[in-house]
Amino acid sequence: MAMKIGIFYGGRGIISDPTIYVIKKMTQVFEELNVSVDRYDLYDHKNAITTLPQTLKELDGIILASTVEWHGVGGYMNSFLDACWLYGDKERIQNVYMAPVIMSTTYGEKDAELDLIKAWTTLGGQCADGITGYIPDVAEFEINKKYDELIEKCAENIYRAFNQKKQSLPISTREGSRKVGM
């Protein structure tokens, strides 16, 4: 059975969004590795965002992708994570690996990455290394082709982490969430 990855994009969908470039490049790599990829643009699902956690049942791993334009990952991603907390299958989430993809056009990509990691581990999920970067103008990807190589290597590493079910030591956030009734 082929691996299945879901990409949940929490940006606004504007053409100049560097996160869109990154997830398209990653999708190409995943498809070359015979991975089935489903992309969910959260702005398109804003009226049905509470049903999206049900899609996790079919996935081996997810990528939470967002752009920091001002402060944090934005409302669509936060709404999706809220829906995972309220309506998600916590037992299933424990077996779903997540890799964050955060591009910033201003600053704050590392803080946003940490927020996604903390949210996912609070839900009980597993995390893999993702990709973050400061790209104020998507044209920089055209200027510096080394960025494509970096994105491709990151996608390959995410594939390996998801495929090998990379194990980690217990963390207090996950253990604490089990004690509060998850």
Is residue 26 within 8 A of residue 158, CB to CB? The reply is yes
* pLDDT attached to residue 71: 83
User: 3-state DSSP call for residue 122?
Assistant: helix
Average pLDDT over the chain reads 92
Its pTM stands at 0.91
* Tokens linked to 179: 């004690």
- Using the predicted structure, report yes or no on whether residue 176 has a pLDDT greater than 70: no
90: left (phi over 0), alpha (psi -120 to 50) or beta: alpha
Mean pLDDT for 128-154 is 94
- 60-103 tens-digit pLDDT: 999 999 999 888 898 999 999 999 999 999 999 999 999 999 99
| Cα angle for residues 167, 171, 175 (degrees, 5° grid) | 110
Average pLDDT over residues 21-38: 97
Residue 133: pLDDT band by 50, 70, 90 thresholds? very high
Q: For residue 110, give both structure tokens.
A: 């590392």
